[in-house]
Structure 1
Amino acid sequence: MSTAYIVVTILAAAMAGFSAGSIFFHAKWVVQPLADYSVPRALWPWLGAAKAAGAVGLLVGLAVPAVGVAAGIGLVLYFSGAVVTVARARWFSHIPFPLVYMAPVVGSLVLGFTA
Structure 2
Amino acid sequence: MEPAYVIITVLTLVANGAIAVADFARAPFVLANSAEVGVPLSWLPWLGALKAAGAIGLLLGLLGARPLGVAAAVGLVLFFLGAVAAHLTRRVYHNVAFPAGYLALAAASLGLALAVG
Local SS of the residue matching 2:19: helix
Local SS of the residue matching 1:61: helix
Q: Could you tell me which runs of 5 or more consecutive residues in structure 2 were left unpaired when the two chains were aligned.
A: none
Q: Offset at 1:104?
A: 1.7
Kept in 1, the 8 Å contact 2:57–2:69? The answer is: yes
4+ residue runs of structure 1 moved beyond 4 angstroms?
none
Task: Give the distance between the partners of 2:112 and 2:73, measured in 1 at CA.
Answer: 12
Deviations 1:53-111 (A, max 9, x none): 00000000111110001000000000000011111111122221101112122111111
State the match for 2:13 in structure 1: 13
Q: Percent identity?
A: 42
State the match for 1:109 in structure 2: 110
Task: Give the distance between the partners of 1:111 and 1:36, measured in 2 at CA.
Answer: 33
Q: Does 1:81 align with 2:82?
A: yes
Kept in 1, the 8 Å contact 2:36–2:92? The answer is: no
For 1:46, give the aligned amino acid.
Answer: W
Q: Could you tell me which runs of 5 or more consecutive residues in structure 1 were left unpaired when the two chains were aligned.
A: none
State the match for 1:31 in structure 2: 31
Aligned residues: 115
Kept in 1, the 8 Å contact 2:13–2:58? The answer is: yes
TM-score by length of 1: 0.94
Of residues 86-95 and 58-67 in structure 1, the stretch that sits farther from structure 2 once superposed is 86-95
Local SS of the residue matching 2:105: helix
TM-score by length of 2: 0.93
